[in-house]
A and B are shown apart, each in its own frame.
Chain A
Amino acid sequence: MPANESKELPLRTDDDIVRMRQAVRSIAIETGLSLVDQTKLVTAASELGRNTRIYGGGGSVKIEKVDNGIRRGVRLTFEDHGTGIPNVELALKDGYTTGGGLGLGLGGSKRLCNEFEIDSRPGEGTRVMIARWKP
């Protein structure tokens, strides 16, 4: 996949999450991210992908190779049309969960990436964008 091209994958089943992780890993390798950075990105993708599937009622992810002229990286955009997050600040707090998990997924993904943007509207859905750049 050349730079600035993207691909979109569905996130509806557990198998979709496995396939998405594999796709993210292979693009991270192509982009030249180090093993640690690959692992961080794939782990963040796994967290957000699962959120999309479980809390968002399924959605999709866009995987992009990005190049800002100085650095190269990978950008992931998760999108669902679920119920949305009423209080994003609270959702980002460690240990806060509405689903019986550890409550670390959202905040953890933010710490695992260089860029993190979340846009959620109750009743409309959630969009999370993350990026990891090659140093």
Chain B
Amino acid sequence: MKASATTEAQESLRLSDILARHETELLSQWIDEQMSASTLRRDLMKESELREQSEQFLSLLRQATRSENLKDTTRPEWEGVREFLIDLSGSRAAQGFTPSETATFIFSLRAPLTELLQRADAPPASVRAATVLLDKLGLFTFEGYQKSREAVISRQQQEMLELSTPVVRLFEGIVALPLIGTLDSARTQVVMENLLERIVETGAEIAIIDITGVPTVDTLVAQHLLKAVAAARLMGADCIISGIRPQIAQTIIHLGVDLQNVTTKANLADALRLALQKLGLTVGRKSEK
């Protein structure tokens, strides 16, 4: 393998030499290429910013190619390039670029670089090595883009889990849990925990679970609700389920779910009235004099 290692070293040296010698020329051609690409987003990025990024990338690429290793971009000498591309794809994903628009940054360098190498009489192996390298870096930006998007999605999911399960105190001794959206297993777990914790914290005697915002109540959702009611009861709190719309009521009957042991109300206002009543409180209009 010694021979091939030497060739590779020569190719990388040649590439770094050519990059060093023709950097300005290559930069201007590359920028032209990027400016004329159909994927250019003038609305999202200024030319000066693009120029700055391109300049920075070429200098990092030149440093990395000096390492005599063009094949394995996971090696430490490529760290600068990798970090730069991760930052770039992350920031472009955040700015609203599509993955193709983002990867065009690297892929548009291919034509000017190949041309430059050919003009400098670089052997075909060198040209091939350079294009393979650019392909690799291009795919790397794709991955970076994807990862940064995934990070955004998972953060949003986390936020939603927290946001969507607020337990609010309606009155002394009464808490309410307005549920909105799909009750899958992960969310239900968080909802239950929040509810039980808040019952302890507030010493509430009555908990109202409002399902006005739950589009579908099937047997799984019903089972989750029944479990929540049973758990709250074990902690000494009575539950009222409110927000049962007419279509949901009819569906529950057909499904055969037994909610007879659970106090239910059509809306939150009725549930609150019942809760106040149970606590021996009344709400009345101030008598006018």
- Write the residues of chain A forming the contact surface with B, with a CB cutoff of 8 angstroms: 14, 18, 21, 25, 35-36, 38-40, 42-43, 46-47, 50, 94, 101-102, 104-105, 107-108, 111-112
Contact = CB atoms under 8 A, between A and B. Distances in A.
10 contacts: A35-B247, A39-B216, A39-B250, A47-B255, A94-B256, A101-B219, A102-B257, A104-B219, A111-B254, A111-B256
Q: Which one of A39, A50, A105, A111 has the highest number of Cβ atoms from chain B below 10 Å of its Cβ?
A: A39
A102 B219 contact: yes
Interface of B: 182, 184-185, 215-220, 222-223, 246-248, 250-251, 254-257
B220 A50 contact: yes
Contacts of B247: 35-36, 38-40
A111 B254 CA distance: 6
Nearest to B217: A43
B217 A108 contact: no
B256 A104 contact: yes
A35 B185 CA distance: 26
Interface of A is mostly: helix
A14 B185 contact: yes
Given A14-B184, A43-B216, A112-B254, 10 more contacts: A21-B215, A21-B216, A25-B215, A36-B247, A39-B247, A40-B251, A94-B256, A104-B257, A105-B255, A111-B255
Given A14-B184, A105-B219, A39 B254 contact: no
* 10 A-B pairs closest in CB distance: A108-B255, A39-B247, A46-B218, A111-B254, A36-B247, A102-B219, A104-B219, A104-B256, A43-B251, A112-B254
A39 B254 CA distance: 11
Contacts of B223: 101-102
Contacts of A18: 182, 184
Contacts of B215: 21, 25, 42
A47 B256 contact: no
A38 B247 CA distance: 9
Nearest to A42: B216
Contacts of A25: 215
Contacts of A94: 256
B251 to A, nearest CB: 5
B158 to A, nearest CB: 16
B190 to A, nearest CB: 15
A46 B246 contact: no
